[in-house]
Amino acid sequence: MLLGLLAALALAWPAAAEFPDKPIRIMAPYAPGGNIDVTARIVADKLKDVLGVTVLVENKAGASGMIGSDVIARSAPDGYNLLVSANSMVDIPAIYGNAPYDWRTAFQPISHIQAVPGVILVTPSSPIKTLAEFIKIGIDKPNALTIADSGVGTTNHIIEVLLSAGSGAQYTLVHYKGSGQASIDVIAGQVPAQIDQVNSALPYIKAGKLRALAVTADRRLAELPDVPTVKELGIKGLEDFTYATYTGLFGPAKMPPAVLKKLNEAMVKVMTDPAVVKRFADLTAEARPSTPEELAALLDKEDRQVVPLIKKLGIKAE
């Protein structure tokens, strides 16, 4: 009789819902329209089909992404509150020095999403024809060449720092508030060189308004087949040089393994969907899913490679 009662209770008790059974929020911790926001919306648009639930994108900008990221760090680790962020997750706390969380313990990596490399640019009339000449000027005449970038601590600034650290070349850096005005001033001849994201610079390169010396990708880009990578040129100290703005999907730390597995598998489907691959390719970005461990390894590499330079050079938010 007791067994019968227990069986009846088991049938009456509602089964635990399988993840996901309600809408998922993806936080884009920057203003609408930028790389992170666009990336989050492309992912959300396909993820809803794969998981069969509504996936909403929320923007909460401020403190170079730390405000929105902190919201997710403090959320329940149940898979319904996610974050799209970039390698700036590692760099920005070192630059600001007052992050409300420790990125190493606050977040659970889920999957890499996409990567956008940088490009080294000069004006079409510049006497600098190759990256080797660009580096030689920085060695022979320290700080004589001025380079524009999109702001302190941005990927473009980090590329400049890493190029100098690897080659020994030194430049005068001009930090703009965004790459748009930087490009305008370089095109106008007010600044002789620039480092930018490929997707931002590509229209100017195609129009002949800027000339690309090299890209920081690990292989040549289909959109710029005649532009070499930094590492293929074999310049001393830069033989293995690659760097990109890469984005990934994260959740709060201590997510249940089954939920993490479900989200990672869903992201692999999203990021290998031909329509998604094309949407990112149209933005000069390469779709690259990964395991959680591979994304964590990218962050660790950023921490080892870039953060010591940020601290050594005293790079601080303006």
pLDDT tens-digit profile, the chain (318 residues): 444 544 544 444 444 578 999 999 999 998 787 788 889 999 999 999 999 999 999 999 888 788 999 999 999 999 999 999 988 899 888 888 888 999 999 999 999 999 989 999 999 999 999 999 999 999 999 999 999 988 877 788 889 999 999 999 999 999 887 778 889 999 999 999 999 989 889 889 999 999 999 999 989 998 899 999 999 999 999 999 999 988 999 999 999 999 999 999 999 999 999 999 999 988 888 898 999 999 999 999 999 988 998 888 888 876
Tokens (6 digits) for 172: 């005068």
Predicted local distance difference test score (pLDDT) of residue 318: 65
- Classified as helix, coil or strand, 23 is coil
CA distances 91 to 66, 239, 268, Å, are 11, 24, 26
Predicted local distance difference test score (pLDDT) of residue 6: 46
Please, what's the b/e burial string for 231-265 (b: 16 or more CB within 10 A of its CB; e: otherwise)? Answer: bebebeebeebbbbbbbbbbbbeebeeebbebbbe
Number of H helices, E strands in the chain: 13, 10
Give the separation between CA 2 and CA 232, rounded to whole angstroms: 75
CA distances 300 to 104, 194, 271, Å, are 9, 28, 23
Predicted local distance difference test score (pLDDT) of residue 16: 52
- Classified as helix, coil or strand, 94 is helix
Cα torsion 59, 64, 65, 67: sign: negative
Give the separation between CA 169 and CA 214, rounded to whole angstroms: 16
Which residues make Cβ contacts (< 8 Å) with residue 187, sequence separation at least 6? Answer: 123, 204, 209, 210
Backbone φ and ψ of 34, nearest 5°: -85, 180
